Amino acid sequence: MSAVLQLDDVAIRFGGVQAVGGVSCAVEAGDFVGLIGPNGAGKTTLIRIIAGLLRPDRGKVILGGIDVTGDPTSARVRCGLALTHQIVRPFREMTVLDNVVLAAGIGYTSEPLRALLHVSRRRESERAAAILASVGLAGTERKLAGALPLGQLKRLELARALAVSPKVVLLDEPLAGLNHTEASKQVETISEVHQRGITVVLVEHNLEEVMRICRRLIVLNNGIVIGDGEPREVMADPVVHDAYVGGGMVTHAEA
């Protein structure tokens, strides 16, 4: 199986709302997938299911050929999954460097006993510094993470995700809240990540950037996949177009 990430009929219901209603798809190794959809389409819910922060009512999440549906997030991360949060969650009381060193130490921290028996952080510090430089955060290492502005915190999220040596990264709105310059710099960094051979799944509202960098688009609406394929073709599909431009809203209002 060459799919690094596979969803098999995943569904979840919150009270009366079918947030995700049976999504199946497979992401091939080395792919760059944009997951888009109007507000409330179920994108973040789906990402949370993939990450293990939510347990689906039915269906399977398969990572690198292993069924991880019942596994907690930390186990999935050890299987090669990394994610960034839509709302940044740095360890504010640690330095920027320590935030990334901690992620780079996943080989020790995945097992409390191994963590207890190891002290040296030299190798991880060097790696963390290199990763910080690669996302454009060189020079901020010694600052407290809580002191960074949002633009840099978004980069720190990315740096931490890269430090766990993932096969797939899920990026939940990595551009949200960034100004135009910051956003294009962040997009550049994400492209570099992809070029290093890491599979990227990107949830983003900024359609222009998504169209520019993604090789494949998956469009969600009302919790189901309504489009999947090459970005330009998918966006030309009238069903997708309707969902985005608001045709769906009109029918909803008429109903």
Partner 1 sequence: MSAYTISIVSIIGINVILAVSLNMISGFCGQISLGHGAFFGAGAYAAALAMFATANVPLAVVAGVIAGSLLGIIVGFASLRVRSDFLAVTTIGINFLFVGFVRKQSWLGGEMGISGIPPTGLGAAGNMVMILLMACATVALSLYVSRSWMGFAFRAVGEDEQAATTLGIGAGAYKLAAFGIGTALAGLAGALYTFFTQFITVDAFDFIFSVMLMAMVVIGGIGSTWGVVTAAVGLTLLPEAIRFVNDYRLLVFGGMLVLVIRLAPGGLAGLTRNLFDRVRQA
Write out the residues near partner 1 by the rule CB under 8 A.
Answer: 51, 53, 72-75, 77-78, 82-83, 85, 89-94, 98, 101-103, 105-106, 108-110, 112, 114-119, 121, 160, 163-164
Helix (H) or strand (E) holding 114: helix 112-117
Q: How far is the CB of 150 from partner 1 (least distance, A)?
A: 16
42 vs 90 by CB, closer to partner 1: 90
Minimum distance between the CB of residue 96 and partner 1, rounded to whole angstroms?
14
Tell me the backbone φ, ψ of residue 7, rounded to 5 degrees.
-110, 135
Residue closer to partner 1 (CB basis): 26 or 79:
79
CA distances from 160 to 128, 134, 251 (A): 9, 12, 43
Q: How far is the CB of 25 from partner 1 (least distance, A)?
A: 22
Q: How far apart are CB 130 and partner 1 at their closest, in Å?
A: 18
* Residue with smaller CB distance to partner 1, 78 or 185: 78
Nearer to partner 1, 117 or 255 (CB): 117
Q: Which is nearer to partner 1, 118 or 212 (CB)?
A: 118
| DSSP state at residue 215 | S
Nearest to 51 by CA among 28, 75, 29, 24: 75
Q: In what order do the strands lie in the sheet with 17-28?
A: 17-28, 3-14, 58-63, 66-67
What is the layout of strands, in order, in the sheet containing 199-203? 81-84, 168-172, 199-203, 32-36, 216-221, 224-229
C-beta of 134: minimal distance to partner 1 in Å?
18
